[in-house]
Amino acid sequence: MSEPTTPAVPPTPPVPLSALLAREDLGLRQIAGPPAPDTVIHWAHTSEMADPYPYLLGGELLLTAGVHVPEAAGAGAYFEDYVSRIVAAGGAALGFGLAPVHDAVPRALVAACEAYGLPLLEVPPRTTFSGVARAVWQLMAQARLAELRRVTEAQQSLAAAASRPDPVPSVLRQLAQRLSAHALLHGPDGTVIASAGRAPVPGTQEALRKLTAVVRPYAGPAGTPREAPTSATDALGDTQLAAYALGGSSGFVLGVATRRREPADHTIASVAAVLLSLLTGEHQSGAGAARSSALVRLLLGAAPAEVAGLLGDGGRWLVVHARPENGTPDPVGATALGAGLGSPLIDLDRDVVRVLVPAGREPVAQPGWTLGVGAPAEPADWPSADAQAARALARARATRAPLVRHDARPGLTELVPRADAEEHARALLAPLAAGPALTETLRTWLSLHGSWDRTAVALDVHRNTVRQRITRCAALLDTDLDDPDVRMELWFALRHH
């Protein structure tokens, strides 16, 4: 069997040996080796083999009752060979159980553990090895739960920071606070744009600057971009350094310096890097300033057609309505949806996210979302496209389709002047004018071919409510809704209502 060179520890938080010693129910006592706070355990393993090396992965608390110890071991080389093999395999500590084989821990074993720096624990007769292993797993589960809670709380606070008026400094401050770190944002030219957190030890900023160069992409001799890693780590004495590339080829890099690296630190820093990628992406392209100008001009009375050019990507746009398959939309999810559709123009409502997408970027289904897409429209027709997207989303939810597009093919409506069609629609649907819910129910019911169940799903009401409303519509309009000619005429009117 080949000898391992690097301990293959599991992806779970390790357990400090001091936490295991603090368990009064176990009664463990350290009698040799370095102080417990400096030792961590990744798992527990029981073995009575004279040479446990082939069976260890590294990071274990090895438990033994000394069955393998020969009677003539005494103070000879046996224990030195035994302990040296445990250390060579990456074992974290040794637990020696008293009774029934040995009444006391052999002195030669204590001396060997001291010589090789291996923590040695005395396990009392009342404590079983399975009880020690169970305690290790319990402590690991508690550490994992605490780690997940820490990550969740950090994600929430970072997302809240990104929505503040000064998002970049706020995200850096929140990251520095969560990691007890010094955080730096480096621009494409390597200069420090913003920083937060405690003052770093001398030389930290220069070390981070060099580390950021590792993850910053640059063009090679032939002009082709060089592929660079998305993150890199290093150390400066006791200070742990990390760098994260933002936004692919944008050139912005997040640098983080901490006194110690906790298991969840990388996850938290990665969340901050994603948020900063979105924020710096707008800064890099100048699109954020252009959108701000468009908003200001609209608020000051400009028409949409006058400011549409500031948004770029031509004059025709698609309106997309989206709802998450589970729960209600949140700011982070809405931002991710916009990124998936290729547009930062997002409107987060109570239960629907609206995205304005350039007509040249064809929307595709997004995991976890149901989408409705309107027809391409000029700025003057955006309200109509918005209504089309809303109806397409209702149809998508009713048919359980991930994406439904508005059917914009030319039809009979092109044969009737718009003004005449609208006048006809007002006259025909006048009896329903006092009940907007009736009009919308009739529209949805007709679009779904008279299906009570799918209409109820699309409108989020009970199917009996749909029946009552349709019956009321038939009475107010004094017509037979089962007649296909009547349905066609009503659908024509609703298209122009």
pLDDT in tens, 379-405: 888 888 898 999 889 888 888 889 999
pLDDT at position 47 = 94
Maximum mean pLDDT: which of 53-57, 209-213, 363-367, 420-424: 53-57
pLDDT score of 360 more than 70:
yes
Both 237 and 260 in one domain: the answer is yes
**DSSP structure string for 125-183:** TTS-HHHHHHHHHHHHHHHHHHHHHHHHHHHHHHHHHHTSSSHHHHHHHHHHHHHTEEE
Q: Is residue 333 part of a domain?
A: yes
* % of the chain surpassing 90 pLDDT: 29
> Looking at the domain assignment, is residue 80 inside a domain?
yes
397 and 422 belong to one structural domain: no
C-alpha 21/C-alpha 31 separation (Å) is 11
Determine how many CB atoms are found less than 10 A away from the CB of residue 303.
11
Same domain, 169 and 263: yes
What band does 17 get if pLDDT is binned at 50, 70 and 90?
A: very high
Higher pLDDT, 91 or 186: 91
Mean pLDDT value of segment 219-231? 59
State the Cα–Cα distance between residues 127 and 26, nearest whole angstrom: 6
Top pLDDT among 53 and 291 is at 53
Does residue 295 lie in a domain region? no
What pLDDT is attached to residue 7? 45
Whole-number pLDDT of residue 222: 47
Q: Of the residues 346, 379, 405, which one is the last residue of a structural domain?
A: 405
| pLDDT for 218 | 58
CATH number for the domain spanning 456: value is 1.10.10.2840
Residues 191 and 267 in one domain: yes
Average pLDDT over residues 113-136: 95
Dihedral through CA 55, CA 57, CA 61, CA 63, nearest 10? -10
Pairing between β-strand 93-97 and β-strand 60-64 as defined by DSSP bridges: parallel
Same domain membership, residue 131 and residue 20: yes
Per-residue model confidence (pLDDT) at position 70? 85
Q: What span, in angstroms and rounded, lies between the C-alpha atoms of 131 and 135? A: 6
Number of CB atoms found within 10 A of residue 268's CB? 23
The percentage of the chain sitting over the pLDDT mark of 70, rounded to a whole number, equals 87
Sign of CA dihedral 267, 268, 269, 274: positive
Same domain, 389 and 430: no
Q: How far is CA 287 from the centre of its chain?
A: 25
Q: Any idea what the CATH number is for the domain that residue 84 is in?
A: 3.40.1390.20
Q: Are residues 369 and 428 in the same domain?
A: no
Cα distances (Å, whole numbers) of residue 332 to 85, 267, 339? 51, 16, 11
Q: Write the CB contacts of 406 (distance below 8 Å, at least 6 apart in sequence).
A: 372, 373, 374, 375, 385, 388, 389, 391, 392
Is 300 part of a structural domain of the chain?
A: no
Alpha-carbon gap, residue 54 to 35, rounded angstroms: 27
Instruction: List 373's β-bridge partners, or say none.
Output: 320, 405
Query: Which tens digit of pLDDT belongs to each residue from 408-465?
Result: 554 555 556 677 778 888 888 898 888 889 999 999 999 888 899 999 888 889 999 9
Is the pLDDT confidence value at 10 over 60? no
Give the C-alpha separation, 264 to 179, whole Å. Answer: 9
Residue finishing a domain among 354, 372, 405: 405
Per-residue model confidence (pLDDT) at position 4 = 42
251 or 92, which is more confident? 92
Q: What pLDDT sits at residue 312?
A: 63
Query: How confident is the model over 68-85, as a mean pLDDT?
Result: 82
Alpha carbons 251 and 98: distance in angstroms, whole number = 61
The CA-atom distances, in angstroms, between 312 and each of 59, 88, 290, 343, 356 are 57, 63, 9, 11, 12
Domain limit, last residue, from 376, 405, 434: 405
Give 131-185 pLDDT, tens digit per residue: 999 999 999 888 888 888 888 898 899 988 887 767 888 899 999 999 989 998 8
Q: Average of pLDDT values for 346-369?
A: 85
How many domains in the chain? 4
Flag whether pLDDT at 225 surpasses 70: no
pLDDT the model gives residue 211: 86
Average predicted confidence (pLDDT) for the chain:
83
In this predicted structure, what is the pLDDT of residue 99? 84
437 within some domain: yes
User: Are 401 and 416 found together in one domain?
Assistant: no
Q: Is pLDDT above 50 for 1?
A: no
Q: Taking residues 108-134, report their average pLDDT.
A: 95
pLDDT band at residue 289 under the 50/70/90 scheme: low
The answer to the question of residue 384 being in a domain is yes
Residues 418 and 398 in one domain: no
Q: Are residues 173 and 60 in the same domain?
A: no
Q: Give dist(CA 171, CA 52) in Å, integer.
A: 49
Higher per-residue confidence, 297 vs 87: 87
Q: What pLDDT does residue 136 have?
A: 94
Task: State both tokens at 364.
Answer: 């595709």
The verdict on residue 1 lying in a domain is no
Q: With respect to residue 117, please indicate whether it lies within any of the assigned structural domains.
A: yes
Q: Are residues 77 and 111 both part of a single domain?
A: yes
Distance CA 60, CA 4 (A): 14
In which domain, by residue range, is 434 found? 412-495
User: CATH number for the domain including 212?
Assistant: 3.30.450.30
Same structural domain for residues 372 and 395?
yes
